[in-house]
Chains A and B, each alone.
Chain A
């Protein structure tokens, strides 16, 4: 593509020199790197997903392990005692006036933190059975680095376990909706005519539903007793079913304009088949746009899962997602007295923000000539 480099705004002279000579994707990477916030968002997400992969290994306890000795237990203090990283046992007393559990750190009873201990059994990456956990303390005591909830369940373990659902559900839902949206949008824009007309009517109908109520009624129709995997899958489908229409419309618009481009006409004249034209010319040109829309849809989908679980229509206990945890944090009393219950909120905000920043950076980068 011939671009008069001297007319580009906001590019310094040193970078301009080779703009016409390097491949487009390198220009995109270069442009993306310029946006520090987006790069930051990308790194945050990489770290989060890496932690998610190792979440069972990092979690000291099973996410549903109850321990009434630690109900509303505060975050454990960690100190070095006798050259060993240790936490302390807690003494639990009941404040009869305010009906709260009070905890006193028993400094005389240090609990050395043990590393690479045996704990509950899990399957690493859903394949390899293992019992190995990064850290723990001796049996009979609990270490709650981020505190415990009303049943004494370890918040850190729940956050880690919850990430397995919260970080994947929205992502998978968006991937499915992007696939549906691209296929339908491409077909609609490329073939036009009756097919296009029919598809547009279906989209129009779907878009006549207010999306949150539709979302709620679909979620309410899910089987209550289904295992968590089935529920996960169905909620993903709901997200996809509601989300694909917007993308399909945008892809259709793009495809229609590329369809009238000279290179498409050339390909038709040279005897290119429909399949060839769609996969070689139309999809690659629309791809950047599709990726941008998809990336920006993920945080919304994550929010949807949280909202549903918060309302008790999404992921249901005993399974845990961040939305389920936020549900536990919805009373003022819980939050003012036990502020660590707000941690899932914080984690959620960071995740969603990172996705938005990443998507924003990608959007600017896919059009590196602008």
Chain B
């Protein structure tokens, strides 16, 4: 077991190095540099930048270095725990990312919990009551959940919330709490703002997982050991929850590995619509501004999250199902 984890971790490091190299290459592909973007901004504001200063900035940011030099500089600094200074705001990249990543992770975790709490019971109900009216209703809602992209759903909820409930949505806090320290009132205000985001994030994933749960359980319910369990006179609830569900839940556990990172990055558009301070919009801005150190670091971090998520899912699967041997 430990052996297995160690091998997976080594493999993960190799993959991350490759991801960082390729990712950095793609990110620096667009012509022009962060400096051009910044200079243009300065000029638009009316300021003219002397030639010497441009030279000095070029040198400082190393914009004229060849790709491989830029990459090695970035890796070296990251290895020392210094993720560089974002061109955009002159803030430490590490600090900014952690702040945003924690909001993203928090949102995604809640969305994940919601997804599981809803999709398992509904999936089970809809499988055990196949071809009844509630089953049809659930199936219908599932398809809507699959077909309506999250950001559109966010947009629609946004409209209703503003129009009919006169509620301020979007952002993470109301304006009056913006600069205040954390308090119960501020926390409640945050919950008030974020439940829509959690709901929107969870909706699509819930629809998908409910479908999977239903389909798997239907397969398992045809197995002979279920028949045996019933023939023994077991309570139907025991038959379903102890014998059937436990054997039908594998794909859900497996999807856990991809679901968390998917939720973390999937919120990019939702966050855009609801103006949430999460990692997705930050990545997008960094890409647009050609802030390659910031974008590169986020990409590698998300990739690490994905790989760790997959590993955890595999371990969890082995724990849920003792028949699975990790070699």
Name A residues whose Cβ lies closer than 8 Å to a Cβ of B: 204-205, 208-214, 216-218, 220-221, 299, 303, 306-307, 310-311, 326, 329-330, 332, 335-336, 345, 348-349, 352-353, 356-357
Name 28 interchain pairs, CB-CB below 8 A, sorted by A: A205-B15, A208-B15, A208-B306, A209-B299, A210-B264, A210-B265, A210-B303, A210-B305, A211-B265, A213-B283, A213-B299, A216-B287, A217-B23, A217-B26, A217-B287, A220-B30, A220-B287, A221-B27, A221-B29, A307-B151, A311-B269, A335-B155, A345-B152, A348-B149, A348-B152, A352-B147, A353-B147, A356-B143
A90 and B111 CA atoms in complex are apart in Å by: 48
Contact between A213 and B302, CB atoms less than 8 A apart: yes
Partner of B155, one of A204, A216, A217, A330: A330
- The residues of B that contact A336 with a CB separation of less than 8 Å are 159, 162-163
The residue of chain A having its C-beta at the shortest distance from the C-beta of B281 within the complex is A311
Contact between A303 and B149, CB atoms less than 8 A apart: yes
Contact between B269 and A310, CB atoms less than 8 A apart: yes
Task: Using A209-B19, A212-B265, A212-B266 as known contacts, say yes or no to A353 and B144 having CB atoms under 8 A apart.
Answer: yes
**Minimum distance in angstroms from A95 CB to a CB of chain B:** 19
Task: Using A209-B23, A217-B299 as known contacts, say yes or no to A307 and B149 having CB atoms under 8 A apart.
Answer: yes
The residue of chain A having its C-beta at the shortest distance from the C-beta of B28 within the complex is A221
Partner of A220, one of B19, B261, B265, B288: B288
- The residues of A that contact B147 with a CB separation of less than 8 Å are 299, 349, 352-353, 356
Name B residues whose Cβ lies closer than 8 Å to a Cβ of A: 15-16, 18-19, 22-23, 26-27, 29-30, 143-144, 146-149, 151-152, 155, 158-159, 162-163, 261-262, 264-266, 268-269, 272-273, 280, 283-284, 287-288, 295, 298-299, 302-303, 305-307
**Minimum distance in angstroms from A331 CB to a CB of chain B:** 9
Task: Using A221-B26, A353-B143 as known contacts, say yes or no to A204 and B15 having CB atoms under 8 A apart.
Answer: yes
- The residues of B that contact A335 with a CB separation of less than 8 Å are 155, 159
- The residues of A that contact B272 with a CB separation of less than 8 Å are 311
**Minimum distance in angstroms from B151 CB to a CB of chain A:** 7
Contact between A349 and B19, CB atoms less than 8 A apart: no
A310 and B284 CA atoms in complex are apart in Å by: 12
New contact pairs (15) apart from A210-B265, A212-B265, A303-B149, CB-CB < 8 Å: A205-B15, A208-B15, A213-B265, A214-B299, A217-B287, A220-B30, A299-B147, A306-B149, A310-B151, A335-B155, A349-B148, A353-B144, A353-B146, A356-B146, A357-B143
A363 and B31 CA atoms in complex are apart in Å by: 45
A27 and B80 CA atoms in complex are apart in Å by: 64
A357 and B151 CA atoms in complex are apart in Å by: 22
The residue of chain A having its C-beta at the shortest distance from the C-beta of B261 within the complex is A210
Contact between A332 and B159, CB atoms less than 8 A apart: yes
A306 and B150 CA atoms in complex are apart in Å by: 12
Task: Using A205-B19, A335-B159, A357-B143 as known contacts, say yes or no to A216 and B152 having CB atoms under 8 A apart.
Answer: no
A312 and B293 CA atoms in complex are apart in Å by: 22
- The residues of B that contact A212 with a CB separation of less than 8 Å are 262, 265-266, 268, 280
Interface centre among A213, A218, A303, A336 (most CB of B within 10 A): A213
The residue of chain B having its C-beta at the shortest distance from the C-beta of A303 within the complex is B149
Contact between A221 and B30, CB atoms less than 8 A apart: yes
A311 and B212 CA atoms in complex are apart in Å by: 31
A212 and B15 CA atoms in complex are apart in Å by: 18
A369 and B162 CA atoms in complex are apart in Å by: 52
**Minimum distance in angstroms from B133 CB to a CB of chain A:** 15
Task: Using A216-B287, A353-B144 as known contacts, say yes or no to A208 and B307 having CB atoms under 8 A apart.
Answer: yes
Contact between A332 and B158, CB atoms less than 8 A apart: yes
A352 and B204 CA atoms in complex are apart in Å by: 13
- The residues of B that contact A211 with a CB separation of less than 8 Å are 265
Cβ-closest 9 pairs across A and B: A221-B29, A353-B147, A210-B302, A352-B147, A220-B287, A212-B265, A208-B15, A217-B26, A221-B30
Contact between A218 and B26, CB atoms less than 8 A apart: yes
Partner of A209, one of B30, B159, B264, B303: B303
- The residues of A that contact B268 with a CB separation of less than 8 Å are 212, 216, 311
**Minimum distance in angstroms from B28 CB to a CB of chain A:** 9
- The residues of B that contact A330 with a CB separation of less than 8 Å are 155, 273
The residue of chain A having its C-beta at the shortest distance from the C-beta of B27 within the complex is A217
**Minimum distance in angstroms from A369 CB to a CB of chain B:** 14
Contact between B295 and A217, CB atoms less than 8 A apart: yes
- The residues of A that contact B158 with a CB separation of less than 8 Å are 332
